[in-house]
Amino acid sequence: MNPLVNAALSRSRTTLSILFVALIAGLSAYLSIPKDGDPDVQIPFVMVTVVHVGASPEDAERLLGRPLERELIGLEGLVDVQTFAIESTVAMVLEFAPSIDIDDAMVDVREKVDIAQAEFPDDTEEPRITQFNTATDNILRLAISGTAPERTLIRLGRELKTEIESISAVLDASMYGQRWEQLEISIDQSKLEAYQIGVGTLIQTITMNNRLIAAGDVRSAEGRFAIKVPGLIETGADLGAITIMTHEEGVITLSDISDIRRSFADRSGYATYNGRPTIGMAVSKRIGENILETSQAVRETIDRVTADWPSNVSVDISYDESERVGNILTDLQANVVNAILLVMVLVVLALGWKSSLLVGVAIPTSFLLAFLAMTVLGMTANMMVMFGLIVAVGMLVDGAIVVVEYADRKIAQGFDRRTAYGAAATRMFWPIISSTLTTLAAFLPLLLWPGITGDYMRFLPITLILTLSGSLLVAVFFLPALAAQLGWGKEGSDDIAHALDPIADAEADKADETQPMAAAYTRLLTWAVERPVRIVAGAFGLLVAVFMLYGQMNYGVILISSEEPPGAQIIVTARGNLSADSSRALVADIETAILAIEGVRNLYSYAGPSTDRNPFDNLPRDTIGEMYMNVADWRGRRPVADIFADIRAAAEAFPGIHVEINPFVQSFDRDKDVVVELLTADRTLLPVAATTIREYMETEMEGLVDIDDTGSLPGIEWMLDVDRAQAQKFGANVLTVGGAVQLVTNGLKVGEYRPDDTDYELDIRVRLGEAQRGVSQLDTLRVMTPSGLIPISNFVTRVAQQRVNTLERRNGLWIIKVRANTEHDVLPNTKVGELREWLGDSSRLPPGVTYQFGGDDRLQSESEGFLNLAFTAALGLMAIILLTQFNSFYQSALILSAVIMSTAGVLIGMMVTQQPFSVILTGTGIIALAGIVVNNNIVLIDTYQRLIKAGSDVESAIIKAGAQRLRPILLTTITTMVGLMPMVLQVSVNPFAEDWFAYGSPTSYTWKPMSNAIVFGLGFSTLLTLIVTPAALALPLRLKRINLLLPSRARLRLSGFSAIRARLWHRSPS
């Protein structure tokens, strides 16, 4: 008996005690492990944002972006640098290699930014450096709306924000859609000119009278006294009392020439929820916190805080990520339970209820051991983990089935239960270890998957590795110890040596060949063994035919499958220099039309000019509105594609307005379906190149929608050209003109103050009255000079010029992206192929302009390259394991041939189900199959070798091995397939849910490509290996016999190869 097995059996109580403690710990780990939807993925991106109010995109890029680029490009591990310059802001996204510690990278970035900061212009704000992490994405979006005044809504929103952020699991509650309060000084221009007060004098006076003065203290013999000089403005009255100038008739205060009041900053956009004005709030959780519990805590806080709010104010939850996560986890947990039940029914029918109970122990035990390990590793129970459990259900019972089935044979031969299970665990110890290791070898390379995609998918192989490792311990140690303690069955022999005797085992196993199924299979094997050349050649021809047929009948390639989305982001675009009010009026029409469409549950909208957009959102440059639409639950509504079609049709009723629909689907890239990136060192070449590609996409390519590019939009901006020499004659300069112009535009910030009724500071801003603000006012402005008030038109010319609203660079080169989405049922990969072929003609683009495809195509290419390497590495690892066990090149290659057969089965499955090839899911499924399908051949060939050692001839050993291993092979194969059938059929049965039966859930649709790949690949390869593997084992003997029948001269020519062939193909003397 194997010494490890013997130790577990001889000290079975200790073994079971260890198992009991591990199960209790595993159960505790399962109950406490954080539940999440998507895995916590550490994204290797760092963003640097620098703001200089009023800077044009060109100035921001030149004065802020270039110094940053010079310092940051060259950082260790830096893969990609993107620079965006918009009005007043430069933002850079730094992508690092996955191997770089992101915390160390943050430190390096801060050091370089500090160096670059020395070159920034004065008044540039402090750079902000932030780090991306999907775990801190918003889990709740709230809408605070009502008929109360705007100031009341903001105050209530701040109260709610404070309470929500006091929850320990909440990272942040960010408000958006509100306007910031400020203390506005509206200057009367006529009074300013009448008193001949210059802008510089006004600003300096206000600034000098709003200072915190540390006067110190006076020390004398009488004592020590603190001296206080109140200098900070505390109220609007304090500000109005400031003396601006004196003259013969008295003093002129600020209130004499202006209107001072608390107001809001100019509106840059409007937020609405279901058509009602609203203030939004986005709630994010801390890393590692349970999303379900966090969401529930936020909901309870909302109910408590809003209990005493005015009746005309309400809080609606426009989006709750925990609902999606809860549905996903519920669906996956139901699928896990369904898979367990199906597998157990099958095992009971095959092995009987007593043996099936022992097999059934392997499932929960392996799961709990895996959850214990996950807790130690700091993992969460996310959807990748749950799907890994579904895949593992049918696989983790394989070892238990093989041990129980073999032990049942021994019990039937007259051995007692302890001896039978000891013999089974000993006899199957190395086959189970070998099959488990080969399965793990297939998943190990996936742990090295680089990038965000790899970080996301890595949880699947980790889950499978942990569960299968647990099942190995259960099969060879815990299960025999448990069976020995149960003591079921009649008394029998305890001669372990006799139970393990291969000769006696071979004689006893002859009875298997008399069973009806085994008898039929024996006859089939006899026929196949007599015709090995034709069987092997026929199988090879079948595989070639399948691969060739798939080349003609495939349904394309996608990166990852998309489920029925729960909603979509709707982008509203329109051309023109539109104000916030104009944008709101246009977006409101679309909003009303969408809310009237059947199936729309709620709609959050934000309308505002395109210049206020975040460049990282990948929105069209002419965006005037964003909408976030949620649809009704998938069980009771029509297909989302029909809702999207109705939205597009409704938008066509509004001329000049276009809508884009971006469904909420699983994606590793936020850009459009087709993205062409144009790069050059000469920025002037990009507009021509972008126009060329856009025209081709719009006129020559079908199936594309939402075509745009990221270049600057047509539009004008006013440039005030200052004649410096002429200005000098009047004693004026650019600074004098700039101060006066700012009074017409956004105003001048002259300080801050903190009123008693707020806990934050308000800006103090000086500007002209509303009636005196406008483009025409620029021509009538007058500035104070030593010569008196002088119209700036004497030395300033107002010129209209082409507006540049965005500049983008990548790794030091200028870049413009030409982008498009595809129509429903049109694969992006197909359109990328067409565009790549057209761009193959180098004359299409100007010299000096290069192109590359971005978006999902880049991720698809990277994933394909890695999965090919992972597949090769997995085969290499499995080959080493098989060579170690069987010490035969031929038999190892024969076992690995099942991988080719399973791949052919995957292709058959995609043709039958008419599904495209998902690079990530189908590709991962093929690699997973490589570790699964070889197990059947391992068990079969291991038994064959044992029979050869027992003295059987080659053909008899092949037939006997097939007959003896038929039941465990079929049982392990069918259990794996049955475990995945709920996902394949998209059926879920949950008796504890309100809708206990569900068909076609979004979750099952997401994972269908991988489930189909495993089921079809495993089924097809098993059918072939049950015939082809025995025939291939007989092939060397058949070729040897053919060689003996050849004429002597031909036999002489072949004799030199016979020895080599014998060593490579078969190690036995026969």
Summarize pLDDT for 685-700 with one digit per residue, the tens. Answer: 999 999 999 999 999 9
- Give the residue among 726, 741, 713 at the shortest CA–CA distance from 798: 741
Residue 437: exposure state from Cβ atoms within 10 A (0-12, 13-18, ≥19): buried
Structure tokens, 946: 């044992």
Within 629-685, residue ranges assigned H as helices are: 640-651
Confidence (pLDDT) at 698 = 92
For 919-934, the pLDDT digits (tens) are 888 998 898 888 888 8
Ranking 669-673, 793-797, 1030-1034 by mean pLDDT, the lowest is 669-673
User: Would you give the distance in Å from CA 687 to the centre of its chain?
Assistant: 33
Is the residue at 307 inside a domain?
no
Rounded to an integer, what distance in angstroms lies between the CA atom of residue 898 and that of residue 86? 57
Rounded to an integer, what distance in angstroms lies between the CA atom of residue 183 and that of residue 670? 39
Confidence (pLDDT) at 501 = 57
- Give the residue among 332, 358, 337 at the shortest CA–CA distance from 347: 358
* pLDDT mean over 809-817: 92
Is the pLDDT at 640 greater than 80? The verdict is: yes
Ranking 195-199, 447-451, 609-613, 664-668 by mean pLDDT, the lowest is 609-613
Confidence (pLDDT) at 680 = 94
- The CATH number for 557's domain is 1.20.1640.10
Band of residue 64 on the pLDDT scale cut at 50, 70, 90: very high
- Give the residue among 40, 38, 665 at the shortest CA–CA distance from 387: 38
Same domain, 678 and 736: no
User: Would you give the distance in Å from CA 393 to the centre of its chain?
Assistant: 25
Ranking 153-162, 348-357, 1057-1066 by mean pLDDT, the lowest is 1057-1066
Is the pLDDT at 724 greater than 60? The verdict is: yes
Structure tokens, 52: 């200089």
For 214-256, the pLDDT digits (tens) are 667 787 777 777 777 767 777 778 888 888 888 777 788 888 8
By percentage, how much of the chain surpasses pLDDT 90? 24
What is the chain's alpha carbon radius of gyration, rounded to the nearest angstrom?
37
Is the residue at 670 inside a domain?
yes
CA-to-CA separations, 579 to 213, 611, 649, 707, in angstroms, rounded: 42, 10, 26, 24
Same domain, 370 and 439: yes
Q: What are phi and psi of 759, to 5 degrees?
A: -110, 20
Rounded to an integer, what distance in angstroms lies between the CA atom of residue 533 and that of residue 1028? 10
* pLDDT mean over 868-889: 90
Domain final residue pick, 783, 812, 829: 783
Helices (runs of H) and strands (runs of E) counted in the chain: 37, 34
Same domain, 869 and 932: yes
Is the pLDDT at 1059 greater than 70? The verdict is: no
What lies within 8 Å, CB to CB, of 778 at 6+ separation is: 718, 720, 741, 744, 792, 798
Structurally, the chain folds into a number of domains equal to 4
Mode of pairing for the β-strands spanning 997-999 and 243-247: unpaired
| DSSP code, position 621 | T
Q: Mean pLDDT, the chain, as a whole number?
A: 83
Judge whether 517 and 879 are in contact, CB under 8 Å: no
Helix (H/G/I), strand (E/B), else coil: 279: strand
Rounded to an integer, what distance in angstroms lies between the CA atom of residue 215 and that of residue 339? 78
Rounded to an integer, what distance in angstroms lies between the CA atom of residue 977 and that of residue 297? 40
Confidence (pLDDT) at 1056 = 47
Mode of pairing for the β-strands spanning 762-768 and 181-187: parallel
Is the pLDDT at 684 greater than 50? The verdict is: yes
Is the residue at 214 inside a domain?
yes
Confidence (pLDDT) at 491 = 63
Q: List the domain range (segments joined by +) for residue 407.
A: 1-32+352-490
Confidence (pLDDT) at 588 = 92
Is the pLDDT at 1065 greater than 50? The verdict is: no
Is the residue at 270 inside a domain?
no
Judge whether 369 and 443 are in contact, CB under 8 Å: no
Same domain, 380 and 464: yes
Is the pLDDT at 954 greater than 70? The verdict is: yes
CA-to-CA separations, 607 to 269, 270, 424, 590, 655, in angstroms, rounded: 5, 5, 71, 11, 18
- Give the residue among 570, 575, 613 at the shortest CA–CA distance from 593: 570
Structure tokens, 879: 């080959």
Judge whether 154 and 738 are in contact, CB under 8 Å: no
Partner residues linked to 264 by β-bridges = 181
Band of residue 1057 on the pLDDT scale cut at 50, 70, 90: very low
Confidence (pLDDT) at 614 = 60
Band of residue 479 on the pLDDT scale cut at 50, 70, 90: confident
Is the pLDDT at 151 greater than 60? The verdict is: yes
Judge whether 159 and 302 are in contact, CB under 8 Å: no
Rounded to an integer, what distance in angstroms lies between the CA atom of residue 522 and that of residue 516? 10
- Written as one letter, the residue type at 701 is M
Mode of pairing for the β-strands spanning 917-918 and 557-558: parallel
Strands of 213-307, DSSP E? 217-220, 223-226, 243-247, 250-253, 258-264, 270-273, 276-285
Confidence (pLDDT) at 494 = 61
- Give the residue among 1050, 861, 758 at the shortest CA–CA distance from 451: 861
For 81-104, the pLDDT digits (tens) are 999 998 888 999 998 887 788 888
Rounded to an integer, what distance in angstroms lies between the CA atom of residue 627 and that of residue 275? 11
Structure tokens, 15: 């073994």
Same domain, 921 and 997: yes
Confidence (pLDDT) at 480 = 84
Domain final residue pick, 461, 490, 519: 490
Rounded to an integer, what distance in angstroms lies between the CA atom of residue 509 and that of residue 203? 102
Helix (H/G/I), strand (E/B), else coil: 888: coil
Confidence (pLDDT) at 1069 = 35
Is the pLDDT at 359 greater than 90? The verdict is: no
Phi-psi region of 229 (alpha: psi -120 to 50; beta: other; left: phi over 0): beta
What lies within 8 Å, CB to CB, of 267 at 6+ separation is: 179, 580, 581
Same domain, 475 and 453: yes
* pLDDT mean over 153-166: 91
In the chain, what are the helix, strand and coil shares in percent, each to the nearest 5? 55, 20, 25
CA-to-CA separations, 479 to 11, 395, 402, 417, 495, in angstroms, rounded: 13, 16, 12, 12, 20
Rounded to an integer, what distance in angstroms lies between the CA atom of residue 226 and that of residue 218? 6
- Give the residue among 69, 66, 111, 115 at the shortest CA–CA distance from 94: 69
Confidence (pLDDT) at 495 = 58
Rounded to an integer, what distance in angstroms lies between the CA atom of residue 664 and that of residue 321? 12
Confidence (pLDDT) at 90 = 92
Is the residue at 617 inside a domain?
yes
Is the residue at 164 inside a domain?
no
Same domain, 772 and 843: no
Judge whether 254 and 206 are in contact, CB under 8 Å: yes
Mode of pairing for the β-strands spanning 762-768 and 217-220: unpaired
Band of residue 645 on the pLDDT scale cut at 50, 70, 90: very high
Sign of CA dihedral 884, 885, 891, 896: negative
- Angle (CA) 53-59-62 rounded to 5° is 125
Band of residue 510 on the pLDDT scale cut at 50, 70, 90: low
Helix (H/G/I), strand (E/B), else coil: 450: coil
* pLDDT mean over 306-330: 85
Is the pLDDT at 851 greater than 90? The verdict is: yes
- Give the residue among 969, 887, 909, 974 at the shortest CA–CA distance from 934: 969
Partner residues linked to 145 by β-bridges = 278, 314
What lies within 8 Å, CB to CB, of 282 at 6+ separation is: 138, 140, 141, 142, 172, 173, 174, 176
Band of residue 538 on the pLDDT scale cut at 50, 70, 90: very high
Band of residue 832 on the pLDDT scale cut at 50, 70, 90: very high
- The CATH number for 633's domain is 3.30.70.1430
Same domain, 895 and 1026: yes
Is the residue at 387 inside a domain?
yes
By percentage, how much of the chain surpasses pLDDT 70? 92
* pLDDT mean over 502-516: 55
Same domain, 884 and 1003: yes
- Written as one letter, the residue type at 249 is E
Same domain, 964 and 864: yes
Is the pLDDT at 352 greater than 50? The verdict is: yes
Look at the pTM and tell me if it is higher than 0.95: no
| DSSP code, position 713 | P
Ranking 27-41, 588-602, 887-901 by mean pLDDT, the lowest is 27-41
Confidence (pLDDT) at 1063 = 46
What lies within 8 Å, CB to CB, of 372 at 6+ separation is: 22, 25, 26, 29
Confidence (pLDDT) at 502 = 54
Same domain, 866 and 908: yes
* pLDDT mean over 348-373: 84
Rounded to an integer, what distance in angstroms lies between the CA atom of residue 484 and that of residue 416? 9
Same domain, 756 and 827: no
Confidence (pLDDT) at 497 = 59
* pLDDT mean over 982-996: 72
Torsion (CA) 702, 703, 705, 711 in degrees, nearest 10: -60
Structure tokens, 353: 């209820």
Band of residue 1062 on the pLDDT scale cut at 50, 70, 90: very low
